Amino acid sequence: MEERDGFIVSIGCRKCGKCENICPNGALYRINGFVNVDHGKCDLCMKCVNICPNKALVYME
């Protein structure tokens, strides 16, 4: 298993859908409209973090 420097978490998702289909690896998924991150698929490209207008997707070290 690869050691990671950090990970992306979803905190306070407002279900706006701006991150829909932005992840090239399919790491984002929704439960009841709220975005979640599959850390096994995420390569920390930060596209979701950069596009979220609510700052709900956050990089954590």
Q: What is the pLDDT of residues 9-55, one digit of tens each?
A: 999 999 999 999 999 999 999 999 999 999 999 999 999 999 999 99
CATH of 7-60, one of 3.50.50.60, 3.30.70.20, 3.30.930.10, 1.10.540.10: 3.30.70.20
pTM, two decimal places: 0.88
CA distances from 47 to 1, 4, 29, 32 (A): 23, 17, 14, 22
Structural domain boundaries in the chain: 7-60
Q: What is the pLDDT of residues 41-50, one digit of tens each?
A: 999 999 999 9
Residue 7 forms beta bridges with which residues? 60
Quick check: helix, strand or coil at residue 57?
Answer: strand
Judged by phi (left if over 0) then psi (alpha if -120 to 50, else beta), residue 15 lies in: left
**Residue 46 identity (one-letter amino acid):** M
